[in-house]
Chains A and B, each alone.
Chain A
Amino acid sequence: MRKISNRALIIIFLGLLAVSAVWILIAANIEQDELTAEIYVDGRLMYTLDLSKVTEEYTIELPHNTVLVGEGEISMLSADCPDQLCVRQGVIRNGIQPIICLPNRVEIRIVKDSGIDAVTGGRS
């Protein structure tokens, strides 16, 4: 028992490393498959949607806006605001730029860890 060779130790250690590496990869992949969108009205979270599980497009009616939800993407279908910036922005598929309807205080954002903490060059 006393004689566990260095080689055996190294093999055990490498084995453990491999197992943990696989585990981390699996965990990372699971996170990637999820694509969660959040809809806020006046700063309050109203809807949380998993966009990866959408099979058929549908709409969500808000007091002044209509949101179109599709597989892996989301957009503002219509809004009663004068500038229509949110409608013009089209679909978003990642967390880089949220859709914001400023006049109606509606925000659609995709929550995904893209390694980005903030974005400059949004509204100026």
Chain B
Amino acid sequence: MKRRLIIVQAVALLLLALASCSAKPEKSKVTVFAMDTVIYLEAYGEGAQAALDEAAEKLYFLDELLSATKEDSEISKINKSAGSFVPISDEVIKQLEAALEVSRRSGGAFDVSVLPLVNLWGFGTEGAHVPAAEEIEAALQYVDYGKIGLEGSSVRLAQGMSITLGAIAKGYASQELSEMLKGRGISSAILSLGGNVQAIGSKPDGLKWRVALRDPVSAAETAGVFELSDMAAVTSGGYERYFEQDGKVYHHILDPKTGYPAEGGLISVTIVCDNGMTADALSTALFVLGEDKAIEYWRDYGGFEAVLITDDGRMLVTEGLRDSFKKSGESYSLLYVTRNGGDKCVKYQTGR
């Protein structure tokens, strides 16, 4: 009799195991076209749909506020008033403060005042072309983060300057949404703002979120997979927005120092950091800095991890990602970057 009971229990357990495969907690999702990209928000649990709808509203609001191309945005007002102080919102202050810090630390590889150059090149528009050297020279005069005067809740740009938050706004938005959703009691969600990924908590089943890194060379492949919880992953690459002229490819990430697309030998830079805004700014900064200086930056300041893919097929992974990043495919050779890499001869450790 006892044994029969055991059999019954075993069968019941099996059925339960099978049933649990299909009984997933309800998923809520929202797609938003805003901030010049497509945004997916996915959340689980009670109240998730209402929280996501609110998040979508917030995205539209931030889009209107932060766009450098919309006439009535706060950024446009700042740019039009260059030369005098303009009162600004908390949203913009937060981003400018973070941006200026990355600018200083990177020696100007990241610079929100790069807009005159961006407009000159015309990336993403029909008029995209290589500007004349004199034009670039002229625009460079107005690119200098040091001339952004931030005082209290006002900002002043020097005459002729203009700024864009394009390299930090999506990260800021994902960070804000993440905090807002957590405040609404959401403990499992994943946000993707045009390749800026922010993982909130873990998956409903308790496992970490699996975030693929797109292969910078073949778009339909992954170069690796991160396993993350409560973490942002942001990638900068020159492969998505570019144009060709006279057989040469020009990508959209400009070096604020030279006025030309950055040529630091990197084709993809991913930053993993608990703050989405920081991750966003750093992915651009390290892309512009190039391999050696990017690694130097990581060793000097830390607080984040990175995956750098070089144009000669190497994938440089900072050692903090040993357990949470797995390379896929054989397109790149993996090397770990260690903290104490003082010895120039032993620059990287070979990975498997």
Please report A residues at the B interface, Cβ cutoff 8 Å.
2, 4, 9, 12-13, 16-17, 20, 23-24, 27, 40, 42-43, 82-83, 85, 89-90, 92-94, 96-98, 100, 102, 105, 107, 115-124
- Tell whether A100 pairs with B38 under 8 Å between CB atoms, given A82-B126, A122-B195: yes
CB distance from A55 to the nearest CB of B (A): 23
Chain A's closest residue to B243 (CB) is A83
Q: Do B197 and A97 touch across chains, with their CB atoms under 8 A apart?
A: no
Stretch at the interface among B106-114, B151-159, B203-211, B291-299: B203-211
Chain A CB within 8 A of B67 CB: no
Closest to B253 in A: A124
Tell me what chain A mostly uses at the interface: helix, strand, loop, or mixed.
loop
Beyond A118-B192, A120-B212, list 19 extra A-B contacts (CB 8 Å): A13-B7, A40-B31, A82-B125, A85-B241, A92-B220, A96-B214, A97-B220, A102-B36, A107-B38, A116-B210, A117-B42, A118-B209, A119-B192, A119-B213, A120-B196, A120-B211, A120-B214, A122-B37, A124-B195
Return chain A residues, CB-CB under 8 Å to B42: 117
Please name the residue on chain A nearest to B280 by beta carbon: A124
Whether, in the assembled complex, B225 has its beta carbon less than 8 Å from a beta carbon of chain A, the answer is yes
Residue of B nearest to A8 (CB): B3
B171 → A minimal CB distance (Å): 11
Contact between chains at B195 and A123 (CB < 8 Å): yes
| Contact partners of B79 in chain A: CB under 8 A | none
**A12 adjacent to B240 (CB under 8 Å):** no
How extensive is the interface on chain B, given as a class?
35 or more
29 contacts between A and B (CB under 8 A): A9-B3, A13-B7, A13-B10, A16-B10, A16-B11, A20-B18, A23-B18, A27-B21, A43-B32, A82-B126, A85-B240, A97-B219, A97-B220, A102-B38, A116-B211, A116-B222, A116-B225, A118-B40, A118-B212, A119-B197, A119-B213, A120-B196, A120-B211, A121-B195, A121-B213, A121-B237, A121-B268, A123-B195, A123-B240
In the complex, how many residue pairs between chain A and chain B have their CB atoms under 8 Å apart? 125
Chain B residue with minimal CB distance to A45? B31
How distant is A43 from chain B, measured CB to nearest CB, in Å? 5
* Alpha-carbon gap, A82 to B42, bound state (A): 31
Chain A hits for B222, CB < 8 A: 96, 116, 119
How far is it, in angstroms, between the C-alpha of A42 and the C-alpha of B31 when the chains are bound? 9
B249, CB-defined interface residue at 8 Å = no
Q: Is there contact, CB below 8 Å, between B7 and A9?
A: yes
The 10 closest A-B pairs by CB, nearest first: A122-B195, A121-B214, A121-B235, A123-B194, A82-B126, A120-B235, A43-B31, A118-B197, A116-B212, A120-B233
Bound Cα distance A121, B192 (Å): 10
Q: Which residues of A are found within 8 Å of B3, using beta-carbon distances?
A: 4, 9
- Cβ B212 vs Cβ A119 within 8 A: yes
Contacts of A102 in B (CB 8 A): 33, 36-38
Chain B residues within 8 Å of A92, by CB: 220
B206 to chain A minimum Cβ distance, whole angstroms, is 14
Checking A2, A23, A40, A115 against B210 with a beta-carbon cut-off of 8 angstroms, the contacting residue is: A115
